[in-house]
Amino acid sequence: MNNVKKNIFFVAALICTTTVVGQTKPELKDIITGTYRPKSVSQFRSMTDGEHYTASDDKNKMIIKYSYKTGKPVDTLFNVSTARECPFASFDGYELSPDETRLLIYTDQEMVYRRSFKAKYYTVDTRRNLVKPLSDDKQQAALFSPNGRMVAFVRDNNIYLKKLDYNTESAITTDGKKNEIINGVPDWVYEEEFSMSDAMAWAPDNSSLAYIKFNEADVKEYPMQMYRGLNPSYDDNTLYPGTFSYKYPVAGEVNSKVSVHSFDIDNMTNRKLNVQVDEQDYIPRVRFTTDPEKLAVISFNRWQNASKLHFVNPKSGVSKVILQDKNDSYINTDNMDLINFFEDGFTFASEKSGYRHLYFHNMNGLQVRQLTNGNWDVTDFYGYDPKSKSVYIQAAAESPLVRDVYRVDAKGNMIKLSQKQGTNKAHFSNNFKYFQNYYSSAGTPLEVELYDSKGVKVRALENNTELKQKLSGMDMPKKEFMQFNTSLGTQLNAYIMKPADFDPTKKYPVLMTQYSGPGSQSVLNRWEMSWLHYLASNGYIVFCVDGRGTGARGAAFERETYRNLGIKESIDQIEGAKYLKSLSFVDPARIAIWGWSFGGYNTLMSMTGSDEFAVGIAVAPVTDWRFYDTIYTERYMRRPQDNDEGYNKTSAVKRAKNLKGNLLIITGSADDNVHPQNTYEFTEELVQNNIDFDMHVYTNRNHFITGGNTQYHIYNKMYNYLKKNL
């Protein structure tokens, strides 16, 4: 296997070094505004039979039923032009009921945080073609019952039940209150760090609804001033700023108290379930098994190095711990979404072997067999077929740089279903007879194709031919994948992008780009077209290193940074700069580094830990982990009271006096994720140490710093800063 991995690694490098010389260079405005963005195809929503799927048309006016086999429409489930009493001209999204007789359609979508949103929901009985509003105002997290005859939803922190047959609405909870009690949807930190947008689950026989209650009354509020601004604009704040205040627990502080409840549909009664957890434990998932008397509840301890799978009876409230997983450092919390329940057992993900693999357990929690095995990581789980006992996965089996789609049969044999080398991601039909494959590589824009269960191509869905033709007439820099050894003996993956007209006799300035956060990857054989390509097209070399702590290289490599975030990651960027200086075509006096979010933090750590960088750009950076949220920070650092030395060593604020090089630091004034406080405290240290720097604040912008002309402005600003200082 090692030889195979090595050969594929260098084939990928060879492919991506081929230079196509054209006549024009990409313009920054075109890159930022999406001129070179590949077209895609929405994931098909498989129907129960696995032979058909639904999709909306490109104008979101119709919902159409298609045949997987032919790709042709066989029915129109909804059309705004013909639906009875339809009050909207188009929609934002939809859900098909499990029994496939009704639709939930939503419009006027309004984002709450990163994943959650409110919207006006409507129900459509496809047999009657009649549109009805779900309720008054806007709703959140609307969820069909399995029989499609009821919808649970959240409004103003309370859960409501709509019985569609009787057109009745009743409140399941009444204690919801802003910044105090939340029912059925997560608080800010759960949503951000556990990737949640709802916290409810229906029993498979429609008898009960389980939900999580968040009591955030004791969590401290974080206020942010909001100004009039533009894109977004708040006219109420024209003369005096307004305030947006929400609950945000920083590392070591109080979290929401969470509890699990069930609502009996027939008796209309609530019951608090007796889940065996400590007060500080997390409960990020509730999910029913195939048995309505077994609600699965997943919990983590505060340090997130131990997880439990509980089975709870929603009627009696009695619970039992079925399975536990432990780790000396932390458990990757995305493992919990690889747990899926079937009649004969459930799949479970763990890194107990040193790599993330899948296991099958019976309903008593006993391991029946290991489903995947090897010195590589399962990177996604697509499903388990109880008939063939096969699992469908995405894995980095051949190299950390690639992703392939596999079927693993009952004997453990791996059959690769994806055909092209690069990054492949699949979406399967319910019967696993078909799958959409999303493929790209460093040299190939996105291609979406439909395959059958044997990996045979059925038809192309989107090849981005027009974009490929456009790119073929341009002088485009290409990625060259490589490895280098640090002075400490660590072998790191990297890529380099040279200008298309590269002259090895010249000396070039370099921008090092990185993210570097735990489990992340920037060095991956996939398509992207960003401002980095613009830089490389205009005389810069771009270099990227995935240092220690990054993903797809096993648990030991990822956890090297545990309790000391930013130390080894910045050392590896410094090692990357030293490696660059050994290359004859690099100007050793003109090396810059940049990053966003964790990448911005690691930029500051690198610049305060060495004098290797002439310029640095840090966007929305964390500057001290004491300022960041509990769930993310404590997973990798534990609490400040458990690891005071680690927090001190990893504080960019405490290292600010050691800053070397020209720094541009950027933040959004309304960043609810990495608060501008991080930037302000760091720069205040620079001021008091008489260190010059440049700073830019974007009004009312969140962590993504978007809106109107903002994206072009920020990237153009960074490019001009490099031109001036590098």
Active-site positions read 597, 671, 703
Nearest partner of 330 among 645, 623, 549, judged by Cα? 549
Long-range CB pairs of 376-381, under 8 A, 24+ apart, other chains included:
376/552, 376/554, 377/551, 377/552, 377/553, 377/554, 378/338, 378/349, 379/403, 379/552, 380/425, 381/337, 381/338, 381/340, 381/347, 381/349
Please report, as a single letter, which amino acid is at residue 545: V
432 alpha carbon, distance to own chain's centre = 25
Long-range CB pairs of 459-462, under 8 A, 24+ apart, other chains included:
459/71, 461/41, 461/436, 462/38, 462/39, 462/40, 462/41
Q: Which two tokens stand for residue 177?
A: 């209150």
Residue 274's SS3 state is coil
Q: Which two tokens stand for residue 218?
A: 């004791």
CA 33 – CA 28 distance, rounded (Å)? 9
Residue that is written with structure tokens 């409507």 in the block: 122
Sheet holding 282-288, edge to edge: 282-288, 295-300, 306-312, 319-326
Sheet holding 52-56, edge to edge: 45-46, 52-56, 62-67, 73-79
Length of the chain: 726
Please report, as a single letter, which amino acid is at residue 314: P
CB neighbours of residue 390 within 10 Å? 20
Q: Which two tokens stand for residue 101?
A: 């007789």
User: Which H or E element spans position 380?
Assistant: strand 378-385
Asked if residues 54 and 43 have their Cβ atoms less than 8 Å apart, the reply is no
CA 248 – CA 631 distance, rounded (Å)? 11
Please report, as a single letter, which amino acid is at residue 548: R
Asked if residues 543 and 494 have their Cβ atoms less than 8 Å apart, the reply is yes
CA 432 – CA 395 distance, rounded (Å)? 18
CA atoms 445, 446, 449, 451: torsion sign: positive
Q: Which two tokens stand for residue 220?
A: 């401290």
Residue that is written with structure tokens 């079937």 in the block: 342
